Amino acid sequence: MSHTVGVRQVQKQKTRQALLDAALGLLAEQSLSSLGLREVTRVVGIAPTAFYRHFKDLGELGVALVEEALGSLHAMVRAILVEQAAAEERIDRTIAVVERHVREHPAHVRFVARERHGGVRAVRQAIAGELDRFAEEVAEALGSQPVSEGWRAEDVRMLAELYVDRLVTTAAELIDAEDGGADEAARVVRTARRQLRLIAIARRHWVAEGGMG
């Protein structure tokens, strides 16, 4: 009996993932608010009613896609920021992580970029929540660096939000740069690196000009 239950669970998980993958493929050309449930189930090869065994609606499926898209990026960026390396090295490695994430998960990045301000409220909220947790993790990492000594918590959080916003924007710009080829992608990376350097320089002066207290 337990073996049968285990097989059913595996099959259920496979079908759930197939629905996510099918939706992601269809979302390459349209927004989630315009996507039809029957479109998704047709690709997977299941009856529309079977969809509800896995998700209550397409909004819940979209939330799951958000978790897939952003979940793994948090840990990778945080790991770089907690290292006791020079600022330039951390910037280069962080940008490299974003480039690799875009290269390996272009459909997920495109989905988040489109739906961040899209028409499905649950998905907008899920993206905002993931970015909020991302900023919290980055703030914790930045706060542990010696240059942040004496900073107020709200200032560290503000700095973290700048980093996260820049990384997310860079990922979206790399997706947009696909049609422009390697030169356009290189321009996006150079700009992102310069912007993060500017933030790092301003960070040092912020302490001197009253960021403490």
pLDDT digits (tens, 9 = 90+) for 59-80: 999 999 999 998 878 788 888 8
Res 213: pLDDT = 45
Res 179: pLDDT = 82
Which residues fall within 8 angstroms of residue 109, CB to CB, at 6 or more apart? 69, 101, 102, 171, 172, 174, 175
Cβ(80)–Cβ(196) below 8 Å: no
Residues of the chain with pLDDT under 50: 211-213
**Residue 118 corresponds to which amino acid?**
G
Res 84: pLDDT = 66
Measure the CA–CA gap between 94 and 85, rounded to whole angstroms.
12
